[in-house]
């Protein structure tokens, strides 16, 4: 398919290498990832080779989220967003950007999102899971009441918030002990991120702010395949009272991307559950190979009308491209 828009593609400004970390990579492989995060010319060549017209860029993981000092997180987020805006300005027909946010400080994060959208021209935010505050074993999850003013700002700005994975807290990895191969994108990312999204849903956040739009990658971090069971059981929990059932919140308030999950049966299942209007193409470059995502998506057996929606027009609408 020509003219694709890929919506979870990562970058790294020079001088901010401290902000990214990998799981399960050799030193040689990780050096290659860093090089590709920073090599704009190679990225554009790859995009041209695979008929990707626009890449929506965001800071590589873990990004700002494990900067334990809030003031430092604010400073680094501004630097990253300024660098991203400069890159987008240099290639306005090829790149759009999602802001990094210092959610260690909710008020500062709201202000930085406002600046990124209204002054820098970025199209929303991508945040790498919970934020570490004070130390790496203390998590701030975004269903806490102190984040309500932040979510009010997100809704008022009318931009999407992409909840991207990170590993669970170091102190909560007992189940992975001796099986480190299950950390990261193999398994733990999806469990951690899907659970965080469920915290937001069951907290009633989307009743309070019904126009919020969240994005989940990797075909939904398991949620499209698990929500029916959750909804059935949570209906018996007295203290959870939602205006809409979780499955409806997923259909109304979430977009799901294909990033790094090139599996046809799963895509078809998500199509049945959410419909083509809620799906977006992404390749997760350079943590995944651009070629793998593109060749799978261009050949996957879906209608051409759905391929066009997923590959382009949904992203145009969501990110106002």
- DSSP sequence for 226-238: HHHHHHHHHTT-T
pLDDT at 30: 86
Spatial separation of the C-alpha atoms in residues 151 and 120, rounded to whole Å:
20
Count of structural domains within the chain: 1
CATH number at residue 276: 3.20.20.140
pLDDT tens digits, 161-218: 999 999 999 999 999 999 999 999 999 999 999 999 999 999 999 999 999 999 999 9
Domain ranges, residue 56: 4-319
Residue 206: phi, psi to the nearest 5?
A: -80, -15
Residue 22 reports pLDDT greater than 80: no
Q: What is the mean pLDDT of residues 77-98?
A: 98
Q: Is residue 8 within a helix (H) or strand (E), and if so which, with residue range?
A: strand 4-11
pLDDT tens digits, 246-270: 999 999 999 999 999 999 999 999 9
Residue 84 reports pLDDT greater than 80: yes
Residue 236 reports pLDDT greater than 90: no
Catalytic residue (choose from 111, 284, 292, 306): 284
The pTM score is 0.97
Spatial separation of the C-alpha atoms in residues 203 and 159, rounded to whole Å:
21
Q: Is 277 a catalytic residue?
A: no
Residue 280 reports pLDDT greater than 90: yes
Asked if 144 contacts 116 with a C-beta cutoff of 8 angstroms, the reply is: no
Asked if 276 contacts 309 with a C-beta cutoff of 8 angstroms, the reply is: yes
């Amino acid at each position: 398919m020509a003219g694709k828009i890929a919506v979870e593609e990562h970058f790294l400004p020079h001088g901010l290498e401290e902000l990214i970390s990998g799981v399960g990579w050799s030193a040689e492989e990780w050096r290659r990832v860093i090089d590709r995060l920073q090599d704009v010319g190679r990225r554009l060549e790859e995009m041209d080779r695979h008929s990707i017209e626009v890449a929506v860029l965001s800071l590589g993981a873990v990004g700002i989220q494990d900067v334990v000092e809030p003031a430092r997180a604010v400073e680094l987020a501004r630097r990253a967003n300024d660098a991203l805006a400069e890159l987008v300005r240099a290639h306005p027909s090829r790149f759009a950007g999602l802001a990094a946010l210092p959610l260690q400080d909710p008020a500062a994060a709201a202000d930085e999102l406002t600046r990124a959208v209204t002054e820098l021209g970025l199209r929303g935010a991508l945040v790498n899971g919970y934020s570490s505050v004070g130390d790496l074993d203390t998590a701030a999850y975004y269903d806490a009441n102190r984040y309500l003013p932040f979510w009010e700002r997100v809704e008022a700005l009318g931009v999407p918030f992409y909840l991207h994975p990170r590993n669970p807290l170091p102190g909560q990895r007992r189940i992975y002990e001796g099986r480190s191969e299950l950390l990261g994108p193999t398994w733990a990312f999806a469990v951690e991120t899907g659970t965080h999204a469920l915290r937001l849903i069951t907290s009633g956040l989307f009743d309070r702010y019904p126009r919020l739009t969240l994005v989940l990658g990797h075909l939904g971090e398991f949620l499209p395949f698990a929500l029916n069971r959750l909804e059935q059981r949570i209906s018996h929990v007295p203290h959870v009272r939602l205006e809409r059932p979780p499955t409806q919140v997923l259909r109304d308030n979430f977009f799901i991307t294909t990033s790094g999950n090139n599996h046809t049966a799963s895509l078809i299942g998500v199509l049945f559950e959410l419909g083509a209007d809620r799906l977006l193409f992404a390749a997760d470059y350079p943590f995944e190979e651009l070629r793998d995502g593109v060749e799978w998506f261009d050949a996957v057996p879906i209608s051409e009308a759905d391929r066009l929606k997923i590959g382009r027009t949904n992203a145009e609408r969501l990110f106002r491209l």
